[in-house]
Amino acid sequence: MVRMSGQSDSGNSGGGGSRTHRDTAQVDMPMAPPQRTGPVGARGSTPVPPKPALTGPVPLPADGRSDASPMVRTVERHLDEILGAVPQPDPIELAVLDAQGLLCAEDVVSSRALPAFDQAALEGYAARAEDVATASVRRPVELAVVGESVAGVDVPAAIGPGLALKVSAGAMLPAGADVVVPAVWTDRGAARVAVQAGPPAGSYVRRTGDDVAPGDPAVQVGTPIGPAQISLLAAVGRERVLVRPRPRVVVLSAGTELVDVSATPAPGQVVDVNSYALAAAARDAGADAYRSGILPADPRRLAEVLESQLLRSDLVLISGTVASGGFDVVQEALAQLGEMRFRQVAMHPGPAQGFGQLGRDDIPVICVPGEPVAALVSFEVFVRPAIRLMLGKRQLFRRTVQAISGQQLLSPLGYRQYLHGTVMRHPDGGYVVEPVGEATDALLARMARANCLIVIDEDVTEVAAGGLVTVMPLLLGG
């Protein structure tokens, strides 16, 4: 019987995996501290004979030969290595509209007061509160209208007792006025106005600096810049702002079987889908993604491509480098640029993973499997959090929810299994999830029909129908 020798340093024992994933069906709150999806490196389980599997993850034989079977490590350890090594690109200054979606990298202090002057909050008549205090519909108070103050026009005249100035919303208030009577509470008179209600002093008036005083912080370091922040930045006169930039991620595909999407594949050849899919995923995660395509087979040209891409990248993502046993031209070329560590990670799909920091600038290079489903799952698990960390995001991981599994799910001990599924809201509350297609054989078309990943922890071998399982919705905003 084959036995498993991998170091299955999985989480501690337990049920359906609820404890090792945040229940993050919550609002993404800016004040939330950074959090990791699972526990890190708690070692517990021992090698156990695997069940026969038709197409699932392949357990390793118990022969202990480290030359034949590379060390198996947990998902969490591989993720830790990557997250511990990715740099945070230096802040850059961008035009405020280009800063959208990024994190502010400076404490923006206002040199102005907002509002810059006492102004009417709405259309009406600037007046003295004491003059209109007794006004009612039955006993309106009449005021003489001394003129009109329109937003943007010159400083208006002062008013005295019994006088009013017609004002538009945002118009500067005349000296002497301490209230704006809404136009709808008056007869809208031109020379004289009948006021039908007297609001208390200060009503419908915006005072200088009510919003922001000079020297007040406007947008602080670490704030995500959205429309409201752009509004405030513009208001304090900022055309540009220092932000955490989008990391430049270059996406490459390796594999002698690959042809570009424009070609008709010959027998044995396969279309390069990963450079497209991973570039899309990297962009979705917030990166500036460049699809560089299929790596050349010629060693000299290959080395040139890798070197030039390292120079223009903050992160390089390569699929398909972990090729079959024996000499691999891409692995060889990468080894010339620094130490790439290829490892078996205790996950399915996608155990063959690699990471290194290459070239003069120690650019992080993440290698994921060439099989397209494994490539995108690996992206979710390792690359998306790395990109979000480079962006400075506090929430590195997708939120997960606990869902009732509609059917029995099997998973090999010691492996974290990711299954594509469809999660639905249950009429009685909570969620129900079904895997898409056969349990362990998630292929491309099935992946495209899924709306979530089902995550089955290393120490769970079976989720009963009706049992709870961790689900990571893959939101597209459809």
**Quick one: which of 472, 315, 286 has its CA closest to 397?**
472
Judged by beta carbon, residue 271 or residue 303, the one nearer a second copy is 271
For the bound state, the minimum distance from the C-beta of residue 372 to a second copy, rounded and expressed in Å, comes to 5
Q: Say how many C-beta atoms besides its own lie within 10 A of residue 297's C-beta.
A: 13
* d(C-alpha 338, C-alpha 23), whole Å: 39
For the bound state, the minimum distance from the C-beta of residue 459 to a second copy, rounded and expressed in Å, comes to 21
Judged by beta carbon, residue 105 or residue 423, the one nearer a second copy is 423
Judged by beta carbon, residue 22 or residue 358, the one nearer a second copy is 22
For the bound state, the minimum distance from the C-beta of residue 276 to a second copy, rounded and expressed in Å, comes to 4
Instruction: Please check whether residue 38 is in contact with residue 83, taking contact to mean a CB–CB distance below 8 angstroms.
Output: no
For the bound state, the minimum distance from the C-beta of residue 340 to a second copy, rounded and expressed in Å, comes to 18
Instruction: Please check whether residue 12 is in contact with residue 20, taking contact to mean a CB–CB distance below 8 angstroms.
Output: no
For the bound state, the minimum distance from the C-beta of residue 170 to a second copy, rounded and expressed in Å, comes to 6
φ/ψ region of 333 (left if φ > 0, alpha if ψ in -120 to 50, else beta) reads: alpha
3 state SS of 281: helix
For the bound state, the minimum distance from the C-beta of residue 43 to a second copy, rounded and expressed in Å, comes to 22
Instruction: Please check whether residue 182 is in contact with residue 172, taking contact to mean a CB–CB distance below 8 angstroms.
Output: no
Instruction: Please check whether residue 337 is in contact with residue 358, taking contact to mean a CB–CB distance below 8 angstroms.
Output: yes
* d(C-alpha 371, C-alpha 3), whole Å: 26
Judged by beta carbon, residue 337 or residue 373, the one nearer a second copy is 373
The β-bridge partners of 410 are: 462
* d(C-alpha 160, C-alpha 334), whole Å: 82
3 state SS of 78: helix
Judged by beta carbon, residue 128 or residue 393, the one nearer a second copy is 393
CA dihedral 61, 65, 71, 72 (to 10 degrees): 10
Judged by beta carbon, residue 177 or residue 232, the one nearer a second copy is 232
* d(C-alpha 150, C-alpha 176), whole Å: 17
* d(C-alpha 170, C-alpha 46), whole Å: 72
For the bound state, the minimum distance from the C-beta of residue 28 to a second copy, rounded and expressed in Å, comes to 5
Judged by beta carbon, residue 11 or residue 412, the one nearer a second copy is 412
User: Scanning the structure block, which residue is given the tokens 């509160």?
Assistant: 129
Judged by beta carbon, residue 177 or residue 358, the one nearer a second copy is 177
For the bound state, the minimum distance from the C-beta of residue 419 to a second copy, rounded and expressed in Å, comes to 14
Provide the residue type at 446 as one letter: R
DSSP state of 57: -
Judged by beta carbon, residue 54 or residue 191, the one nearer a second copy is 54
* d(C-alpha 186, C-alpha 189), whole Å: 8
For the bound state, the minimum distance from the C-beta of residue 20 to a second copy, rounded and expressed in Å, comes to 20
**Quick one: which of 347, 373, 369 has its CA closest to 443?**
373
3 state SS of 266: coil
Judged by beta carbon, residue 42 or residue 183, the one nearer a second copy is 183
Instruction: Please check whether residue 16 is in contact with residue 402, taking contact to mean a CB–CB distance below 8 angstroms.
Output: yes
